[in-house]
Chains A and B, each alone.
Chain A
Amino acid sequence: EPEVTQTPSHQVTQMGQEVILRCVPISNHLYFYWYRQILGQKVEFLVSFYNNEISEKSEIFDDQFSVERPDGSNFTLKIRSTKLEDSAMYFCASSTQGALVGYTFGSGTRLTVV
């Protein structure tokens, strides 16, 4: 069964440093998403991406965040200057028809900012 792959599984970074979280969506999917989940809380929408541009973003997704699809397979989330409150699980997801079908999620990257 096709999977969404995320790397690394766990990243520890110092406050103020830049991090890049990587995702390989399912190959025939066209819609890509990032979500985050602070420990014990709900899954929060960050951004959706289609046709090489952001289609929607949440209030969380401020100027410190950016996304990129640098080639035909990877989809990245960059946090420019990490804060302690950025510590969370970050999930990448992809779908064939946007939000009209269920997404396939990756296993997540646990980001710890110290």
Chain B
Amino acid sequence: GESVGLHLPTLSVQEGDNSIINCAYSNSASDYFIWYKQESGKGPQFIIDIRSNMDKRQGQRVTVLLNKTVKHLSLQIAATQPGDSAVYFCAETPSLDKVIFGPGTSLSVIP
């Protein structure tokens, strides 16, 4: 079936260091991938997206990398700040009508 999974369920980083959160997806038909951030008590918040015809996309302090050969997605956060502490979900779009979320990685930033 469809699934999106994560290699690391928890990640602790020192403030100012770079963070890398990884994700594996299984559906080759997915054309669009998104990273969401979820802070405690809140809904998922869109961070950055990438389409299958790209392998890299940069935002403000964040970069998403897509490797379709091995079905791997990663989120890089530069100069991690305490406000980046949250659960991060990768998500894929196997159809036009739904987004499937991975299990989530908890990022903890140590001041």
Contacts and interface: CB of A to CB of B under 8 A. Distances in A.
Give the interface size bracket for B toward A. 20 to 34
A98 B97 contact: yes
A31 to B, nearest CB: 8
A26 B35 CA distance: 21
A75 interface: no
Contacts, number: 63
Contact of A103 (B38, B96, B99): B99
Contacts of A4: 43
A99 B104 contact: no
Nearest to B5: A42
B101 A42 contact: yes
B45 interface: yes
Interface residues of A, number: 26
A68 interface: no
Interface in A24-67: 33, 35, 41-45, 48, 50, 55-56, 58
Contact of A42 (B41, B97, B102): B102
Interface of A: 4, 33, 35, 41-45, 48, 50, 55-56, 58, 91, 93, 98-108
